[in-house]
Amino acid sequence: MATVLPTGLDAGLTGVEAPAPSARRRGFAWLAVAPFFLYMAVFFAVPVLMLVLGAFQSGGAHSSYTLDTLRQANEGPSLNALLGSVRLSAGTAVVGALGGVGVAQLIIHTRALKRIVLTASGVLANFGGVPLAFMFIATLGNAGFVTVKLHLGDTGFTLYSFWGLALIYLYFLIPLMVLVVLPALEGLRVQWHEAATNLGASRWQYWRHIGGPVLLPSVLGGFVLLFGSAFSAFATARAAMGASSVPLVTLYIANNLSSNVSTNGQNIAFALSVDMIVVAGLVMAVYLPLQRRTTRWLNQ
């Protein structure tokens, strides 16, 4: 015989309280997300904690807590590598943002072309690492097909430089910007332009007072996202540039982790990793409010 739980007045008379459905649902919700929090704790929180602890330790057999490791990570070659990554990321993010906005604006009114470009952008934005580096080396390297055919070596061009690496990064940064900014461009209402035109506004005034302010959060958010993607890239730069052609923080960290010359190299790598975490946190602190503002505009 099935047992019926008392509810309402019967529950009050018998002294048995039925659990609230909302509390029960919250319990199931926490149980459902528990594996996610466990995963984040094991594979994110614990490694970050170990990096922070290692950043405040000295190397060698008699390791001790000190601030010297952080000082060494922010001076000399370490600082040059960090600044090199910031310069490369900022430069490629600016060019990638401008190029992505231009491409998105060109294709927005052509349905077939937009579908092709979006499909290609989805592939190219995730195409990086060793295959991308090999493709550029085979094409624009010192003995690359295009370099030999067009005699680019005579002009002083070399792929193994700061600007050569920037060219490689733009290959996946511009498609990423297209994916980010195209929904914002599609969110611009035709009625806004028609209303501005009827009121006597020029095209420049429309973009200055209406279109520009609406697109600005999305463009700035895309720039920040491109900066973070370029700043954290490693495999492409390592495969294309080697270990020391261009000073980058990711390459410098890898060199310190694999080197047996310096007794404090591993801890310096930990300190530089903490610097990267701080930069990534700043990037997310800027990106998330911009993304929320863009979403609010598009949902209106």
Query: Is 63 part of a structural domain of the chain?
Result: no
Q: Say if residue 247 is in the same domain as residue 194.
A: yes
39 and 79 inside one domain: no
**261 and 142 in a common domain:** yes
Q: pLDDT class for 33, splitting at 50, 70, 90?
A: confident
Q: Which domain holds residue 94?
A: 71-298
| Pair (190, 218) in one structural domain | yes
End-to-end Cα distance, the chain: 55
> How would residue 39 be classed by pLDDT, with cut points 50, 70 and 90?
confident
* Structure token digits, residue 177: 């910007």
pLDDT of residue 8: 46
Q: How many domains does the chain have?
A: 2
Q: What is the pLDDT of residues 155-186, one digit of tens each?
A: 888 888 889 999 999 999 999 999 999 988 88
Is 210 in the same domain as 100? yes
> Do 270 and 223 share a domain, yes or no?
yes
pLDDT of 209 reads: 85
Is residue 83 domain-shared with residue 144, that is, in the same domain? yes
Mean of the per-residue pLDDT values of the chain: 82
What pLDDT digit, counting tens, does each position of 44-76 carry? 888 888 888 888 887 655 567 778 878 888 888
Give the position of tokens 């019967």: 10
